[in-house]
Amino acid sequence: MDDVAQRMRLAARMAHIEPFEVMEIQTLAREVEAAGHDVIHLEIGEPDFRTPAPVVEAAKRALDAQPMFYTSALGLAALREAISRFYAQRYGVAVPASRIAVTAGSSAALLLAFGVLLDPGDEVLLADPGYPCNRHFVRSFGAVPRAVSVGPDSRYQLTPGLAREHWGERTRMAMVATPANPTGTMVTAQDIAGLAQLAREKRGHLLVDEIYHGLTYGLDAPTGAAAGEDVLVVNSFSKYFQMTGWRLGWIVLPPGLVRAVETLAQNLFISPSTPAQHAALACFEPETLAIVEARRAELDARRRFLVPALEGLGFGVPVVPEGAFYVYADVSRVTQDSFAFARRVLTEAHVAITPGKDFGRNEPERHVRIAYTQPVARLEEAVERMARFLGRR
Ligand SMILES: Cc1ncc(COP(=O)(O)O)c(C=O)c1O
């Protein structure tokens, strides 16, 4: 066995692919639980809600009634049509079904977008802090993630001004997530338009990750699809529709990219999951939308409890999150090392949170991400435990 392990020679690209720190925290949390402690999980990027019942019912009906063969690589025609109608209803934007590809989560959508557009050495502008997998997706194609440090002054987002400043000879793309992980902040319609215009001028591309659309509190998030049909928009059934484990998402493509994405998807995936696609057809029904909207209100109530409670602990929240289900807190008043802090909070206070390290190189030691993916009563308990840990009770 040792001999086999020794003979494994990994591809050079693996030197740039780092583990997902939140997974390591989860492993440690399981050990703490195995030792008999009640851990409050605020580290994971998925809420405690189950998939809405009408979606589960639709899956069961389909499993009984249909053969689960592969679908087209771009997805079921009925689902692409339903997503197209959703853009018309929700945003008032015409996105023909022919520009929509259904994918295995937005993860596969990102992989396909980068796969059809990036050559080795090409650069992609990304906000730091940002969703960690993006830089690894880019690396998987031999391309180079160019992290742009962002802070409270730009609401932790890549602005048209910052993108222009960092756009270089090899830059081929800029990407933003709105609302973003880990900060929950959004990009305005004006900035999306400005970024799209810059990409056009530079003969590059803008990709907008809208996976947290629907989970915004107060204002609705504008879609990149309104900024021109050359903008790539990624979305998912994971978060708003609470289907994380079903692995289903989509991408809105410029017309000229559809065939390339179809070809790559045929080869990489053959098709997205057939049962998941039948289930997702129920997402756009009024009864499902009523359920997910009620859950949006519940997440907002959690957010409104958590942000001031964390500030009361001495954590800084310089920009109040407007969406997703994360608070990116500045813990520099209570620790100089968010990584060690997160581990101690887990092992001593039994609250699992994610250290900033996952989200880039821009002052990770002074930040943690706290996901309000538990009911308010559990959040209250978590805050109480952290207060005791910090000697504030
Ligand atoms: C910003 C962002 N994009 C993409 C993803 C990938 O999600 P999925 O593949 O489940 O759609 C996540 C998951 O947490 C995310 O936070």
- The 10s digit of each residue's pLDDT in 240-288 is 999 999 999 999 999 999 999 999 999 999 999 999 999 999 999 999 9
Ligand 1 pocket, residue 236 CB under 6 Å: yes
State pLDDT tens for residues 192-207.
Answer: 999 999 999 999 999 9
| Whether the model pTM is above 0.85 | yes
- C-alpha distances in Å from residue 296, one per residue of 172, 194, 322: 36, 29, 12
Sign of the four-CA dihedral 302, 304, 305, 309: positive
214 CA from centroid of ligand 1 (Å): 14
Ligand 1 pocket, residue 105 CB under 6 Å: yes
pLDDT at 2 over 80: no
DSSP assignment of 100-154 equals: EEEESHHHHHHHHHHHHHPPTT-EEEEEES--HHHHHHHHHTT-EEEEEE--GGG
Ligand 1 pocket, residue 103 CB under 6 Å: no
**Which residues pair with residue 145 across a beta bridge?**
124
283 CA from centroid of ligand 1 (Å): 18
- Cα R_g (the chain), whole angstroms: 21
Ligand 1 pocket, residue 244 CB under 6 Å: yes
221 CA from centroid of ligand 1 (Å): 17
Ligand 1 pocket, residue 122 CB under 6 Å: no
229 CA from centroid of ligand 1 (Å): 23
What is the band of 19 on the pLDDT scale with cuts at 50, 70, 90? confident
**Helix axes of 53-65 and 286-312: crossing angle, nearest 10 degrees:** 140
- Higher pLDDT residue, 17 or 186? 186
243 CA from centroid of ligand 1 (Å): 11
Q: Which two tokens stand for residue 89?
A: 């209803």
Contacts of 265 (CB under 8 A, 6+ apart): 73, 74, 101, 103, 108, 112, 271
Ligand 1 pocket, residue 131 CB under 6 Å: yes
Residue with tokens 């780092």: 18
Q: Which two tokens stand for residue 94?
A: 């015409």
Residue 4: the pLDDT is 65
Q: Measure the CA angle with vertex 221, ends 55 and 356; round to 5°.
A: 90
- High-pLDDT (> 90) share of the chain, %: 91
Q: What values do phi and psi take at 117, rounded to 5?
A: -110, -25
Residue 1: the pLDDT is 53
138 CA from centroid of ligand 1 (Å): 15
Rounded mean pLDDT, 159-167? 98
Q: What values do phi and psi take at 101, rounded to 5?
A: -115, 130
Residue with tokens 């520099």: 332
